[in-house]
């Protein structure tokens, strides 16, 4: 039986495992390695903070992921299939590592973010983006 996500350390392990999979993924890995060329030493702690805020209600995240994804879309189109792949990889990583209400919440929040991001990206393409 797997434990649930209960601490910052659990989130760090999840994020690290997830990005190891994403970076080598043949469909979406290119967004992280070539399109935006993330500075991993800066990006990964931001992801820890984001998920800690989202799952543990600790307000450590500062940022606007929507604007960042809209900017990425202007460089290389983000399509529903890209988000579907992200969700699949994220959910598989969660399921391999954790089980419980917070693990379920992580997958639920990821799906909610996908829907919202796709909507806002679509609006931004039509010039109707309102933050």
Taking only the tens place, the pLDDT of each residue in 77-102 is 999 999 999 999 999 999 999 999 99
Give domain status of residue 34, yes or no.
Answer: yes
DSSP H helical ranges for the chain: 8-23, 29-30, 40-56, 65-75, 80-97, 101-125
Instruction: Summarize pLDDT for 101-130 with one digit per residue, the tens.
Output: 999 999 999 999 999 999 999 999 987 666
Tell me, what CATH number does 118's domain have?
1.10.490.10
Question: pTM for the whole thing?
Answer: 0.91
Give domain status of residue 108, yes or no.
Answer: yes
Mean pLDDT of 19-32: 94
CA distances from 117 to 50, 60, 80, 112 (A): 15, 21, 10, 9
Number of domains in the chain: 1
Tokens of 102: 């917070």
Give domain status of residue 38, yes or no.
Answer: yes
Residue 69 domain boundaries: 8-125
119 C-beta neighbours (distance < 10 Å), count: 11
Percent of the chain with pLDDT over 70: 97
Residue 126 has what pLDDT?
87
Give domain status of residue 44, yes or no.
Answer: yes
Angstrom distance (rounded) from CA 90 to CA 18: 6
Question: Poorest-confidence range of 6-20, 55-69, 80-94?
Answer: 55-69
Confidence of residue 67 (pLDDT cuts 50, 70, 90): confident
Q: Are 99 and 3 in contact (CB under 8 A)?
A: yes
Give domain status of residue 131, yes or no.
Answer: no
Angle, CA 81 vertex, CA 54 and CA 5 arms, to 5°: 25
102 C-beta neighbours (distance < 10 Å), count: 19
Confidence of residue 68 (pLDDT cuts 50, 70, 90): confident
Give domain status of residue 130, yes or no.
Answer: no
78 C-beta neighbours (distance < 10 Å), count: 20
Give domain status of residue 2, yes or no.
Answer: no
Q: Are 5 and 11 in contact (CB under 8 A)?
A: yes
């Amino acid at each position: 039986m797997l434990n649930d996500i209960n601490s910052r350390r659990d989130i760090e392990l999840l994020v690290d495992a997830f990005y190891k999979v994403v970076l080598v993924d043949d469909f979406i890995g290119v967004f992280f390695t070539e399109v935006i060329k993330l500075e991993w030493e800066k990006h990964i702690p931001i992801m820890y903070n984001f998920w800690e805020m989202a799952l543990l209600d600790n307000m450590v995240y500062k940022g606007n992921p929507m604007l960042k994804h809209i900017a990425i879309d202007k460089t290389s189109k983000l399509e529903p299939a890209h988000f579907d792949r992200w969700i699949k990889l994220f959910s598989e990583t969660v399921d391999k590592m954790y089980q419980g209400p917070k693990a379920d919440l992580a997958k639920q929040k990821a799906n909610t973010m996908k829907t919202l991001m796709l909507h806002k990206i679509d609006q931004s393409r039509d010039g109707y983006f309102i933050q």
